[in-house]
Structure 1
Amino acid sequence: MPALHRPDLLAAATAAALAAWPDAGSAPPVERVEVAQIDPEVADTAAFCARYGVEPADSANCVIVAARRGAETTLAACVVLATTRADVNGLVRRRLAARKVSFAPMDTAVSRTGMEHGGITPVGLPADWPLLIDRAVAEHPRVVVGSGLRRSKLWLPGAALAALPAAEVLDALGT
């Protein structure tokens, strides 16, 4: 069903981002963003795909990384298809001009996003974070991503993710 019809299935930041969705421009209409309730025990991608018959190539993962250069740490999000892994030590490190990039600690990712582990989504991330999206995700007609909660998933056009504030579409982010 349309995601805005079930705010109880969305993290607060996700619901706020959808409520502020642009009405015009290059973003697909917010009505094309749907939400489905799922068993939170199978929120992790492999278990979710197996339980609900979703192809991993139709599912995307949003991972939070910590990019360090000297004493400065920048948090960023990378969105790649579930059939790939984010090129954290290559493309992401270069794009963020970091000496070292690693996956952010779970407690940091959860506290800074206001989302649940296993449900983090690019929809509603802090506006000042870089959001790196693999071209394969951006060009996907409809992809499954987290909703900010473990008990639901969003289904939306990849172009909607590419139209998010701070989004940058990159070739070969997913390897």
Structure 2
Amino acid sequence: MDAPIGHFDHAVPAPDALGDLIRPVADAVRHWSGSVPADQIVYVDTDPRWADTAVFVEHYGRELRRQSANCVVVAGRRGSETVLAACVVLSTTRVDVNGVVRRRLGARKASFASMDTATGETGMEYGGITPLGLPEGRPVLVDPAVADLPYVLVGSGRRRGKLLVPGKAFTELPGAVLVEGLGVA
């Protein structure tokens, strides 16, 4: 199959690649119930050495930079309570953690979650975290610019491989909320 964006040697519908996905992501694909059919989510096999977005687009094509998104885990704190959320923004922007995210979570302080917290809470590899398959009940804050793209390249839960996901599908993830201004230049 040809990938809907980019040029990859190996691209298959995600339901046909469940064995290549970590369990929470495979379960999310297996039980997908969004209006976008699961077979429109595409898994592409990629080298883990090039998992970080800047390096990835240099290797697989600079045109992917404008079609890539990062998913980061943030921690919002108010007193002794900590709330974790995933934020999905275009890779050409950064997450407005101390403004938009902090206010959205009702936190006094917000920061990127530590690597141990992010990987421990998601069950995913650092550098491959994806909004598909996140633990139930976690907010998934999505910048509208991500949802507006026909396809978005995002992590697969592992450093090896990526998912190509129709932008609209991000709005249908459990806990998803579109948040204006989430990604800033």
Listed as ranges, the matches of 1:23-172 within 5 Å are: 27-53=35-61, 54-172=63-181
For 1:2, give the aligned amino acid. P
Residue 161 (structure 1) shift: 1.1
Task: Kindly state the Cα deviation for residue 39 of structure 1 after the two structures are TM-superposed.
Answer: 0.5
Partners of 2:68 and 2:153 within 8 A in 1: yes
1:79 alignment partner, SS class: strand
**What is the alpha-carbon distance in structure 1 between the residues aligned to residue 115 and residue 69 of structure 2?**
18
Q: CA deviation at 1:56?
A: 1.1
> Distance in 2 between the 1:9 and 1:109 partners?
21
Identity of aligned residues (%): 54
Tell me if the contact between 2:87 and 2:142 (Cα under 8 Å) persists in the aligned partners: yes
The offset of 1:86, in angstroms, is: 0.7
Does structure 2 conserve the Cα–Cα contact (< 8 Å) formed by 1:118 and 1:146? yes
**Structure 1: 5+ residue runs without aligned partners?**
none
Taking structure 2 as the reference length, the TM-score comes to 0.91
Query: Unpaired runs of 5+ in structure 2?
Result: 1-11
How many residues get paired? 172
- Give the distance between the partners of 2:65 and 2:143, measured in 1 at CA: 15
Q: Is the 8 Å Cα contact of residues 64 and 153 (structure 2) preserved in structure 1? A: no
Q: Which amino acid aligns with 1:98?
A: A
Q: Provide the residue aligned with 2:14 in structure 1.
A: 3
2:128, 2:158 within 8 Å by CA — same for their partners in 1?
yes
Q: Give TM-score scaled by structure 1 length.
A: 0.96
CA deviation vs aligned residue, 1:33-85 (integer Å, no higher than 9, x gap): 00011010110000111100042110000000010000000110000000000
SS of the residue corresponding to residue 94 of structure 2 reads coil
Contact between 1:9 and 1:147, CA under 8 Å: does it hold in 2?
no
Distance 2:111 2:182 in 1: 15
Q: Which amino acid aligns with 1:21?
A: W
CA distance in structure 1 between the aligned counterparts of 2:35 and 2:112, rounded to whole angstroms: 29
The superposition leaves residues 135-169 of structure 1 with CA deviations (integer Å, 9 ceiling, x where unpaired) of 00011110000000110000011111111010001
